Structure 1
Amino acid sequence: MSAEDLASNNNPGRRRKRNRNQSPEARKKPRLDEGTSHPVQAKKQLQQATISVLKYLGKRPDTFVYPPLEEKNGQEIRVLIIEPGKGDDEIRCKLVPAALPKSDPSDTEKYVYIALSYNWGEGQPIHPITITNYITSKKRMKEPSLEKRLAMKFRKHKDWCSSGEKYVRSNLFVALKRFRRKDKETIMWIDALCIDQDDPHERSAQVKQMHELYIQAEKVRIWLGDGSTAAKEGSPKDCFNFLRRILGELDKLLDDLGKENTAVMEAAKQVVVQLMCNKWFSRRWIIQELALARTAEVVYGNQTMPWSDFADAIAIFIKSQDRIGAVLSKMIADQASSTAELGLVNGVTNLGANALVDFINNLFRRTENGDIQQRMLTLECLVSNLLAFEATNPRDTIYAVLSLAKDTHKLSTETNVNAKNLQLDKRLLPAYQNCLLDVYTDFIDYCIGSSRSLDILLRHWARSEESDGRKALLSEANSDSEVTEERLPTWIPLIHKSPFGLPTQRPRGRSNGDSFAGTSFRSSQRNYNATLSLRPEFSFGRMAYSSKTPNRDRKKTYNGTLFVRGLRIGKVKKTTPRAAQGMLFNNSLNLAGFDIRWWEDHHEWAKGIPRVPERFWRTIVADRGPDGSNPPSWYPRACLECLYNVNSNGDLRPDDVIDLKNASSIAKLFLARVKDVVWGRRIVSIELENEKTTFGLLPPETKKGDIVCVFFGCSVPVVLRQQEEEEEEEEEEDNEEDNGKKYYFHMIGECFIYGMMDGEAVADRKWKRPYRHAEQFVIK
């Protein structure tokens, strides 16, 4: 027994506190000592062994060392000068400190450079390139003295040298060979090489000026790869020729597709399968790289096309989807080897390529010469809508779009800084060294303060750290840290619950229903107003450190607790199965009073009721049309018509009706809306606080007994699940004190409650902050 345990036993009043930041399930697990024979311990040892193997087999030792950049008003960068070469010649580069071309005068040289936009790619960096540190393009950097070497804090090697090898991934290696010239140096900026990716402080500093880096580049070159993975008939040349035909002779092209011209069909297929699914289109950073570029070109293998032409061709391709899709669907169905390929044609509008083209046109208002005149979208809107684009580091979910938002910068008030300089809100400053919880909490705090709304808690935009699988192990193999996952609180909405899930899942089609709190980037108007114009009252729990805790050990600011004021409006009374694929199962229809036996004889909803009950049909379309407006007057008529098509089990399958040639157009439009709303959700009955009963659409994780609330400042109700706080254990039975049960809540998600979406819950009295008479919910 340890000295601590002995001291605890000798003091009857002393309590042993358990870690309240852990989930109840985690607290119940036994504590593991080194050598404990336990499945969890064994799994941890296996993970560590796997990482060691990956390090040995895949991670090559870089011998190149980055000297720190000098801090000169935060405007110093590095440029990469690729030395002449051809074929399989060794790739040799110079890495040169430089000032931004349009920065204030300084003693650092300025270079005209091309910025590369590309996908880092999968796998380990296995291709060596030689890089030499230069003071200028002609003057090589000398080895620093011991004193300076210690001051510069080189982490990788004790012996510093000005040249060394750095290993890169295949996609970048091929790009360097592609853009290297035979007889002339090429000056480029490439993030993986020009930024020390192992230094979080340097990465944070460079990200702050990323927008200027792309604005001031001579050109942004978009690298889609060498096309080596494409089939013979889908070469980069054939692919780009097809895009050029879209721009020049669309009608003839569509006629050829209609006649099932094999060569044209194969080219069209490659545009969908190879090009539209290119990994470059799923990167979040490309939005900034492309939107800020004065001139951009797309390079695919040996083919080049101006971005403006490429974007127009993609937009026209999507616009002509009705005519192209039928032909390609049949062709792909005959050749598909997976269900993902089968749904690819119909899901092409959800892919990053289409989303990128659509989004770029809505970011800025520009002058005639192409300068940015006005940014159009807020940071909250950008993060909430850019769900088709992923980031390797979850922090880049926010950092990658900071420079595109209209509300993140403010004029500097510092007297020693030019008045034109813009300063980021301190909560948004890039800080890769901060834990993910702190980054997300600061972002949410900023959004709530800016919008005066809690809706950012309900839109599914956040991505957690990778915690399992080969990808996670490979990423961890680059460091000496253990394989761990930062557990995020339930009030941070994760992207896998968004309508189309993770970016990699989008080609498979819809995963969840549309968000009730979601807003289109074309309009900031809310669909609902559950708490009218009341402002939120909230706060975040912070870590408690003693005054003796060293700063280096204060790794977190927040503890993952959210305090928010609101009202309980009801409790879940009955649930039905989740609406998989948007189906309305007989359980849901029965819950609303539909009697299929009576219906077969009378085709009425129920005896004495000649039409569909208002609260039911309005619930399954969330009482809105597809554009967020009030539902059309013909929705109940269409709903009634759809009930003629329930199957033998009493279920209504929307796709069966939509595919019927003789089904009316209003029935198809109605069911399309129903699918978008109910997909994956549960239709439930809610017992309100006034003992009345109503219908609701709740998340698939909902259980009977969950409570439904409205938070002040939130446009839609939320579902919470009460959790009992595990009490502190008494060492002596006679020392027990009954202080009552303590509890907190888990956030289950947003919901639609019929009759509670337009302020009904708060309209009976006047409310004033800080809402002392309302309940304070503690959410973890």
Structure 2
Amino acid sequence: MATNSESNSPSSKARIYAPLGPNQARFIEILPSDDDDQSVSCLLRTAELTPDLHYAALSYVWGDPKVTRDILVNGHILPVTTNLACALWYFRKGGFPRHDNTEKIRLLWVDAICINQEDTPERSHQVTLMGTIFGNASSVFSWLEDPGLRHLDAVFPVIREFLSMVGSISQPRNRDADERHTGMGRAILDWLVSEPERLKPLAKLSRCTYWTRIWIVQEMALAKSPVEHWFICGHDSITFREIALFDAAILNIFGLFLCSEINISTVMRRMLWRVVHMMVQDVIEKILFAVEDEMGIMRIDGKDKFVNSYIERASSVPPMLSQLNLETIINKHNLSDSVFLFGKIAVVGLHTSATDPRDMVYAVLSIVSSDIIPDYTKSVRDVYLDALLRDAMEDTVGAYLQFSGLGHNMENEHDLPSWLPDLTKSTSWHDPSFKIGQLSRPKLLEGVRLREPEMVNRGILLIQGAACGSIKHIKRIPRLCREFGKMIYQLCIDYLVDWVIPGETTTGIRQIMFKRPLQALLTALCWDGLNDDVSHFEDSRGIHLPRLSWTFLNILLFGGNVLSEDERRDARRRLKLPWGVRLEGFMANCFVDVRRVVYRSCDNWEQFNFLVRRVEGNAVLFQTYDGRLGSGPSGTKLGDIVCAVDGTPSPILLRKDKLQENGSSHLVHVGVCFVVGLLDEKPAEMVKRGELEIETFEIH
């Protein structure tokens, strides 16, 4: 038998791997064994990738490459990661999952074994074939993990039994049948939540590390059919079709309680079912995380494995829960390809990670139209720039700037330009979903004639725009903490004292209240563009506050109670409040005319949590020299320049950096920012009126 040292030697690799032709791939055939303790042994087969080749492709997480087990390939030892070794062991013992009417599968494609990982040219070429390999596979096997870790296999019987119960519900045709239908839905809910062991596996499934690997995007998306896409854990398995039916049923039954009469029992069931639905949706979204629109439809080269408009179906009266009706929900669509490669990569990168940073690009090439050829001899910087140049810069430069910037204080280990996103870091950004949502907003300089942005010297971005001011003051927003209300209250006091209060007289204090300066502060704190949550409207009854403003007002009215007596005295001293002016009244009236506010009945705890989620912790408040209030990333510094540039829906911050020998300095991108009132003033119109001047920024 070969030794461990032999398994890692070049000569051992050479004996295992023979050269491949341009359209060839290797496959393994697992050899049977009656000895469970014996290492897995397999034969390596080479075959042309023809449409009639019958095989399965394995999708799995590599795991730690330093923790391995030995298997035998053509009689030679090959170390593989423990997760793969576990999958092969279960396949040897129990075989591959299949339907009764399908041909038995003998050949399996596994990247770690079928590609010589030490042969860089082969590895690059085989990556170009992965779309064909998974697209032509008779079945795709998604190996989740070793069942001994978290017993994920326990979720499969729950899903199957649930679908069996749903399938027994007949289609309603009259009011009496509708009531019976609703009763059955309640019975299914009661069954699902009556035993904690039925729900726990769902939560564990959503936390499975399988969903974090970027390669699963194309591996799952390219599967021929949801019926032949198997999710496997140990000896048990379930198809994608069954998982999608499960989710559709969950949402349909939830619709029953939306449509039924309101009473305490219904409300409790509705709340409970919502929790169940959110848990299932967490799993489904991880399976289909390359979503591009609000309907949750994955658009990848005509391959769609999700549900079209099942949200509307679920809320209709009454939902149809027969197995036949559920099957009609799961249908195929000819869905358009993403126009921009880098945009697709950025969306995928928000949810996944890769061991090799270059795979953040290469792992999605099979699901977008691209002429990029994987080349693992290139640097990360060159691979990302290649992806950038594949698109027209005038169409996508806004996305680059939304996802990048030195202000996020992340290490630039790949020597990327400040304006180019590091896709391996996107999951650690403070609020990546905000950046995606902003891309659909109108561009700041829409309608202004500008030169198209261009890249020079493989790294310098030349883009036109207008400077809107530079930063004079900054104030850091503390990280979220247990005393959130007190933190917000103290921040409001600091803001008023440091940036707002102009004088010491009573008249000045009243004038400050009438200006309502804390409205601007709340807008800057919650800078995701959802103005409906902070904008007030007024009618004959008074001022109506949306939920975010209402919660903020309650903190101002009662937040003083969380201050100690010494803190209250210090606050009054700093604010220079005269005798007779209450601290809480002053703070609240700096936000809105409290006497005219229409009372809003709401769950204060729910609204408080809503505000907590909306405030960007660890960000920076800033004030420009012309008095504009804004907020930006945590690395914002004094002197940073607020700019409206071509193709962006939000202003960005630029910084003069690295003084050159000739006395000049270049600009670097800090990140996107928000400036209160700037969108309302419309920078494009300000340019046309001559208030802002167009210039060319050279960003390194």
- Whichever residue aligns with residue 118 of structure 1, its letter is Y
The answer for the alignment partner of 1:529 in structure 2 is 443
Q: Offset of 1:762 from its aligned partner?
A: 3.6
Find the residue that maps to 1:180 and give its secondary structure.
Answer: helix
- Tell whether the 8 Å contact from 1:453 to 1:714 is kept in structure 2 after alignment: yes
Q: Offset of 1:188 from its aligned partner?
A: 0.6
Counterpart Cα distance in 1 of 2:73 and 2:347: 39
Q: Offset of 1:745 from its aligned partner?
A: 2.5
- Whichever residue aligns with residue 446 of structure 2, its letter is L
The answer for the alignment partner of 2:223 in structure 1 is 293
Match of 2:631 among 682, 686, 697: 697
- Whichever residue aligns with residue 646 of structure 1, its letter is G
In the alignment, is residue 388 of structure 1 matched against residue 351 of structure 2? yes
Q: Offset of 1:517 from its aligned partner?
A: 3.9
- Tell whether the 8 Å contact from 1:81 to 1:95 is kept in structure 2 after alignment: yes
Q: Given the superposition, is the C-alpha separation of residues 182 and 358 from structure 1 closer, same or farther in structure 2, using an over 3 Å criterion?
A: closer
The answer for the alignment partner of 1:363 in structure 2 is 299
Q: Given the superposition, is the C-alpha separation of residues 227 and 57 from structure 1 closer, same or farther in structure 2, using an over 3 Å criterion?
A: farther
- Whichever residue aligns with residue 436 of structure 2, its letter is G
Q: Given the superposition, is the C-alpha separation of residues 488 and 606 from structure 1 closer, same or farther in structure 2, using an over 3 Å criterion?
A: same
Q: Given the superposition, is the C-alpha separation of residues 537 and 630 from structure 1 closer, same or farther in structure 2, using an over 3 Å criterion?
A: farther
The aligned runs of 1:369-408 (5 Å cut-off) are 373-378=334-339, 379-386=341-348, 387-405=350-368
Counterpart Cα distance in 2 of 1:461 and 1:723: 13
The aligned runs of 1:604-619 (5 Å cut-off) are 609=514, 615-619=520-524
Deviations 1:379-430 (A, max 9, x none): 344222221211111111122122223xxx2xxxxxxxxxxxxxx33xx332
Q: Offset of 1:239 from its aligned partner?
A: 2.8
Match of 1:724 among 635, 653, 658: 658
- Whichever residue aligns with residue 623 of structure 2, its letter is S
The answer for the alignment partner of 2:53 in structure 1 is 111
Percent identity, please. Answer: 23
The aligned runs of 1:455-494 (5 Å cut-off) are 455-459=399-403, 485-494=413-422
Q: Given the superposition, is the C-alpha separation of residues 271 and 606 from structure 1 closer, same or farther in structure 2, using an over 3 Å criterion?
A: farther
The aligned runs of 1:112-131 (5 Å cut-off) are 112-124=54-66, 126-131=68-73
The answer for the alignment partner of 2:462 in structure 1 is 563
- Whichever residue aligns with residue 207 of structure 2, its letter is C
Counterpart Cα distance in 2 of 1:371 and 1:318: 19
Counterpart Cα distance in 1 of 2:72 and 2:134: 25
Counterpart Cα distance in 2 of 1:122 and 1:315: 36
The answer for the alignment partner of 2:377 in structure 1 is 433
- Whichever residue aligns with residue 538 of structure 1, its letter is P
Deviations 1:8-46 (A, max 9, x none): xxxxxxxxxxxxxxxxxxxxxxxxxxxxxxxxxxxxxxx
Find the residue that maps to 1:646 and give its secondary structure.
Answer: helix
- Tell whether the 8 Å contact from 1:81 to 1:187 is kept in structure 2 after alignment: yes
Q: Offset of 1:435 from its aligned partner?
A: 0.3
Q: Given the superposition, is the C-alpha separation of residues 348 and 578 from structure 1 closer, same or farther in structure 2, using an over 3 Å criterion?
A: farther
In the alignment, is residue 268 of structure 1 matched against residue 167 of structure 2? no
Q: Given the superposition, is the C-alpha separation of residues 82 and 496 from structure 1 closer, same or farther in structure 2, using an over 3 Å criterion?
A: closer
Q: Offset of 1:643 from its aligned partner?
A: 2.4
Counterpart Cα distance in 2 of 1:277 and 1:536: 47
Counterpart Cα distance in 1 of 2:398 and 2:336: 23
Deviations 1:644-665 (A, max 9, x none): 242534899xxxxxxxxx9725
Q: Given the superposition, is the C-alpha separation of residues 324 and 763 from structure 1 closer, same or farther in structure 2, using an over 3 Å criterion?
A: same
In the alignment, is residue 518 of structure 1 matched against residue 436 of structure 2? yes
- Tell whether the 8 Å contact from 1:532 to 1:758 is kept in structure 2 after alignment: no
The answer for the alignment partner of 2:141 in structure 1 is 221
Find the residue that maps to 1:575 and give its secondary structure.
Answer: strand
In the alignment, is residue 622 of structure 1 matched against residue 527 of structure 2? yes
Counterpart Cα distance in 2 of 1:526 and 1:762: 17
In the alignment, is residue 643 of structure 1 matched against residue 565 of structure 2? no
Find the residue that maps to 1:693 and give its secondary structure.
Answer: coil
Q: Given the superposition, is the C-alpha separation of residues 442 and 695 from structure 1 closer, same or farther in structure 2, using an over 3 Å criterion?
A: same
Q: Given the superposition, is the C-alpha separation of residues 308 and 718 from structure 1 closer, same or farther in structure 2, using an over 3 Å criterion?
A: same
Match of 2:453 among 525, 538, 552: 538
Q: TM-score, normalised by structure 1?
A: 0.62
Q: Given the superposition, is the C-alpha separation of residues 540 and 742 from structure 1 closer, same or farther in structure 2, using an over 3 Å criterion?
A: same
Find the residue that maps to 1:124 and give its secondary structure.
Answer: coil
Find the residue that maps to 2:241 and give its secondary structure.
Answer: helix
Counterpart Cα distance in 2 of 1:489 and 1:303: 48
Deviations 1:502-541 (A, max 9, x none): 4xxxxxxxx6245654238xxxx62242221456643334
The answer for the alignment partner of 1:94 in structure 2 is 43
Number of residue pairs aligned between Structure 1 and Structure 2: 561
In the alignment, is residue 445 of structure 1 matched against residue 389 of structure 2? yes
- Whichever residue aligns with residue 362 of structure 1, its letter is M
Q: Given the superposition, is the C-alpha separation of residues 518 and 79 from structure 1 closer, same or farther in structure 2, using an over 3 Å criterion?
A: same
Q: Given the superposition, is the C-alpha separation of residues 304 and 69 from structure 1 closer, same or farther in structure 2, using an over 3 Å criterion?
A: same
Name the Cα RMSD after superposition: 4.6
Deviations 1:220-276 (A, max 9, x none): 01111231123xxxx345332233344455744643676xx5xx2144224313x22
Counterpart Cα distance in 2 of 1:355 and 1:605: 53
- Tell whether the 8 Å contact from 1:580 to 1:679 is kept in structure 2 after alignment: yes
Match of 2:488 among 581, 584, 587: 584
Counterpart Cα distance in 1 of 2:269 and 2:9: 49
* Ranges in structure 1 where 5+ consecutive residues have no aligned partner: 1-55, 103-109, 133-162, 329-343, 410-423, 468-483, 503-510, 543-557, 653-661, 728-738, 768-772
- Whichever residue aligns with residue 284 of structure 1, its letter is I
Find the residue that maps to 1:116 and give its secondary structure.
Answer: strand
Counterpart Cα distance in 2 of 1:640 and 1:753: 22
Counterpart Cα distance in 2 of 1:130 and 1:513: 46
Match of 1:572 among 467, 471, 483: 471
Find the residue that maps to 2:678 and give its secondary structure.
Answer: coil
- Tell whether the 8 Å contact from 2:28 to 2:107 is kept in structure 1 after alignment: yes
Find the residue that maps to 1:672 and give its secondary structure.
Answer: helix
The answer for the alignment partner of 1:750 in structure 2 is 672
Q: TM-score, normalised by structure 2?
A: 0.68
The answer for the alignment partner of 1:36 in structure 2 is none
The answer for the alignment partner of 2:115 in structure 1 is 195
Q: Offset of 1:442 from its aligned partner?
A: 2.1
Q: Offset of 1:324 from its aligned partner?
A: 10
- Whichever residue aligns with residue 279 of structure 1, its letter is T
Find the residue that maps to 2:131 and give its secondary structure.
Answer: helix
Q: Offset of 1:216 from its aligned partner?
A: 0.7
Deviations 1:613-651 (A, max 9, x none): 65444433437328x999674448624344224253489
Q: Bigger shift: 629-638 or 209-218?
A: 629-638
The answer for the alignment partner of 2:590 in structure 1 is none
Counterpart Cα distance in 2 of 1:324 and 1:60: 59
Find the residue that maps to 1:518 and give its secondary structure.
Answer: helix
- Whichever residue aligns with residue 366 of structure 2, its letter is S
* Ranges in structure 2 where 5+ consecutive residues have no aligned partner: 96-103, 166-184, 255-266, 292-296, 305-327, 538-544, 572-583, 585-599
- Tell whether the 8 Å contact from 2:643 to 2:651 is kept in structure 1 after alignment: yes
The aligned runs of 1:12-91 (5 Å cut-off) are 60-61=8-9, 63-65=12-14, 67=17, 69-72=19-22, 75-86=23-34, 87-91=36-40
Counterpart Cα distance in 2 of 1:304 and 1:229: 16
Q: Given the superposition, is the C-alpha separation of residues 429 and 352 from structure 1 closer, same or farther in structure 2, using an over 3 Å criterion?
A: farther
Choose between structure 1 and 2: higher helix proportion: 2
- Tell whether the 8 Å contact from 1:362 to 1:376 is kept in structure 2 after alignment: no
Find the residue that maps to 2:667 and give its secondary structure.
Answer: strand
Q: Offset of 1:701 from its aligned partner?
A: 1.1
- Tell whether the 8 Å contact from 1:706 to 1:719 is kept in structure 2 after alignment: yes
- Tell whether the 8 Å contact from 2:290 to 2:347 is kept in structure 1 after alignment: no
Counterpart Cα distance in 2 of 1:533 and 1:435: 38
Q: Bigger shift: 283-292 or 437-446?
A: 437-446
